[in-house]
Amino acid sequence: MQTLVRKKFVLYYSPEFAGGERVQLVEGMDFFTEENGFRPHEIAHLFEMKKTHVLSTGPLQVWRVK
């Protein structure tokens, strides 16, 4: 039986981010929406990300870990 592997990401908010420095683990793509502050081209890039790639958008860095 084949299982669906959900993508996992680590988000690092640098100290310059409005909410301060923190790290967050996100599973799946549901978090990456325009309502959460991501632009359409960033969302498209996240869908295509391979493991270990990093997306930097201002004070936020997104690593794909799975």
Position 3 scores a pLDDT of 59
9-66 per-position pLDDT tens digit: 999 999 887 788 999 999 999 999 999 889 999 999 999 999 889 999 888 999 999 8
Domain assignment present for residue 1? The answer is: no
Domain assignment present for residue 26? The answer is: yes
Calpha distance 50→58 (Å, rounded) = 21
Domain assignment present for residue 42? The answer is: yes
Domains in the chain: how many in total? 1
Domain assignment present for residue 14? The answer is: yes
Kindly tell me the burial class for residue 22, based on how many C-beta atoms sit within 10 Å of its own C-beta (0-12, 13-18, 19 or more): exposed
Calpha distance 55→31 (Å, rounded) = 15
- Is the model's pTM score more than 0.95? no
63: phi > 0 → left, psi -120 to 50 → alpha, else beta; which? beta
Beta-carbon count within 10 A of 32 CB: 21
Domain assignment present for residue 3? The answer is: no
- Between 52 and 1, where is the model more confident? 52
